[in-house]
Amino acid sequence: MFAKIPADTTVPNDYYGAYFSVLWNTFGYPPYTSHPMYELPECYKDPSLLPEGKTADDFFVTYAITLENNPLLFLEIKPPGQLNDLSARIAADKQMRERFISFKPLMTTPRFYGVSAMGQRLAFYGMDKSSSCVLPKLPTSGDIPIDWWKTDITTRAGQQEFNGVARDVRNMTEEVTT
């Protein structure tokens, strides 16, 4: 599916079907639910909590993997051209960190994962429930390195890295549900 998407697309929803397929193939069976979240988390309904210059319309779809309506992993999708734009990477990172804050009250597992996709390139994020620390840590310079999106989901190595996160999610939920 990724091969059919124009390399120069500026439309993030060109990738929605491809990523939904990845999530469904990884988590699309009980007890997990793999779905787009069109409704913004509660904190985003207050315009004063949105990033500067943004409105709710700037946040189209967050894909979520849930277990009994509790989030385990989320995915944010941006077009591939934003990868080379430092301000777009900074905005994507800020959005990911804000999503972690909004989902934290719903966490039932020791770790919670987020994936930022720019085209087919992935940056993996994680938050530890006990410390609320989100990784990767912000660089002191404030610049968000392009190499955070080093993983290409269309490669074997990229699929293995994504599957490693999925395996950790499944292992944590087995611990919680047994």
The model's confidence at residue 62, banded by pLDDT at 50, 70 and 90, is confident
Global confidence as pTM: 0.85
Say what the pLDDT of residue 150 is.
97
**Structure confidence at residue 174 as a pLDDT band (50, 70, 90):** confident
Q: Tell me the pairing of strands 111-118 and 134-135.
A: unpaired
Confidence class for position 12, pLDDT limits 50, 70, 90: confident
Which amino acid type is present at position 33?
Answer: T
131 by DSSP, 3-state: which?
coil
Domain that holds residue 54: 2-177
CATH number where 128 lies: 3.90.1570
| pLDDT tens-digit readout, 89-136 | 999 999 899 889 888 888 889 999 999 999 999 999 999 989 999 999
Please write down the long-range contacts of 37-42, taking CB distance under 8 Å and 24 or more positions apart: 37/61, 37/62, 37/63, 37/64, 37/74, 41/99, 41/102, 41/103, 42/102
Task: Name the domain count of the chain.
Answer: 1
DSSP β-ladder status, 151-152 and 111-118: unpaired
